[in-house]
Amino acid sequence: MQLWTGLGNPGPQYAMHRHNIGFMAVDAIAEVHGFAAPRRAFQGWVQEGRIGTHKVLLLKPGTYMNESGRSVGEALRFYKLTPADVTVFHDELDLAPFKLKVKAGGGHAGHNGLRSTDAHIGPDFRRIRLGIGHPGHKDRVTPHVLGNFAKAELDDLTDLLGAVAAEAPWLAAGDDVRFMNEVARRMG
């Protein structure tokens, strides 16, 4: 089994924040691949399903971003998984908007959701970095991250989420390079 976690903040007031693109990605995957309805577990919401032949548990922590690792760690221990079984979808300031990169392990680059996950399970999990772009100055980072996507960005956002969901079988199979290439081709 694989544990795929989307990082975000719970509640309708945060739903369209750039910081919630991780939640949006797992929602798109659940919808496209016909996952079971969400249920409360592990201080969040989980959905079970299959992507190809791979059993995947989607998790949206309900702990708010800064405590995401509590939820991830609880699910990891319950299913006796290792950090290598975990994939985390998150917003990434240092990538152009709607670009995507996959990275195994690494630091948190100031991302509190990654920092919390790292603190609870260690750094050796796969990260799906979903670009939201940098606002240009560090004083504008918080309002940018905690701001809604602009109307002009919604088509690109929808295209990215659709591409992530459609190409998720490559991710489930462990072919990160093919996943990145196919998402990029769709975004072309």
Which tokens sit at 148?
A: 């809604």
Has 9 been labeled as part of a binding site?
Answer: no
- State yes or no: is 111 an active-site residue: no
66 is annotated as contributing to ligand binding: yes
Cα separation, 31 vs 166, whole angstroms: 10
| Dihedrals phi, psi of 123, to nearest 5 degrees | -85, -5
Other beta carbons less than 10 A from residue 127's beta carbon: 24
Angle at CA of residue 108, ends 105 and 113, nearest 5° = 105
Pick the catalytic residue from 17, 19, 90, 120: 19
Edge-to-edge strands, sheet with 126-131: 39-41, 44-51, 54-61, 2-6, 86-92, 126-131, 100-104
Tell me the C-alpha distance between 177 and 145, whole Å: 27
Catalytically active residues are 19
Binding positions = 14, 64, 66, 112
